[in-house]
């Protein structure tokens, strides 16, 4: 299964359905199920603001968070800002996420880029 690591609170906000576009400075041609995992180190609350950490899943670190369907990857525009929960920035790509599904929290060591994890759908059933 394909996975990607995100710093919290971003992963939890995707799991909660608040953030439906992930942004990266690189494009992907991958489409399909993508396991969202949280990195070990979150963005400090004092840098983000407490309101971003209200979703309970924003507090999980170093684990699986949710499964999404990555349906498209396009250059980011101002139209994407609300769903991405950030402003457009130079070189940004908007990764369109749909069909957000909860998963069981399983420890996972994050990596850069999209990476493979040895989990099956059965392993992840919440």
Integer angstrom CA distances of residue 42 from 22, 90, 106, 117, 122: 16, 23, 17, 21, 28
Q: What percent of the chain has pLDDT over 90?
A: 69
3-state secondary structure labels for all residues of 24-48: ECCCCCCCEEEEEEECCCCCCHHHH
pLDDT tens-digit readout, 105-125: 999 987 889 999 999 989 998
pLDDT value of residue 41:
79
Q: Does 95 reside within a domain?
A: yes
Integer angstrom CA distances of residue 123 from 57, 62, 110: 19, 17, 18
* pLDDT, mean over the chain: 90
Q: Of 125 and 76, which is predicted with more confidence?
A: 76
How far the first Cα of the chain sits from its last, in Å, is 17
pLDDT value of residue 111:
83
**Residue 116's domain is classified under what CATH number?**
2.30.130.30
pLDDT tens-digit readout, 23-45: 999 999 999 999 999 988 777 66
Q: Does 126 reside within a domain?
A: no
**65 vs 63: CA distance, rounded Å:** 6
User: Which domain covers residue 91, as residue numbers?
Assistant: 2-120
Degrees to nearest 5, angle at CA 39 with 63 and 37: 45
Q: Does 52 reside within a domain?
A: yes
**22 vs 35: CA distance, rounded Å:** 13
Q: Does 9 reside within a domain?
A: yes
pLDDT tens-digit readout, 84-105: 999 999 999 999 999 999 999 9
Q: Are 114 and 3 in contact (CB under 8 A)?
A: yes
pLDDT value of residue 46:
66
**Residue 19 corresponds to which tokens in the numbers above?**
């953030």
Is the pLDDT assigned to residue 52 strictly greater than 80?
no
Q: Does 26 reside within a domain?
A: yes
Q: Does 73 reside within a domain?
A: yes
Counting the structural domains of the chain, the total is: 1
């Amino acid at each position: 299964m394909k996975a990607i690591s995100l710093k919290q609170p971003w992963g939890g906000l995707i799991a909660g359905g608040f953030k439906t576009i992930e942004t990266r400075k690189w494009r992907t041609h991958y489409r399909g199920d993508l396991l969202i995992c949280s990195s070990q180190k979150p963005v400090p609350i004092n840098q983000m603001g407490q309101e971003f950490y209200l979703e309970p899943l924003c507090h999980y670190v170093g684990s699986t968070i949710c499964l999404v369907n990555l349906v498209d990857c396009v250059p980011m525009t101002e139209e994407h800002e609300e769903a991405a929960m950030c402003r457009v920035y130079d070189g940004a790509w908007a990764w369109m996420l749909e069909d957000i599904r909860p998963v069981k929290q399983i420890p996972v060591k994050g990596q850069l880029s999209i990476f493979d994890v040895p989990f099956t759908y059965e392993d992840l059933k919440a």
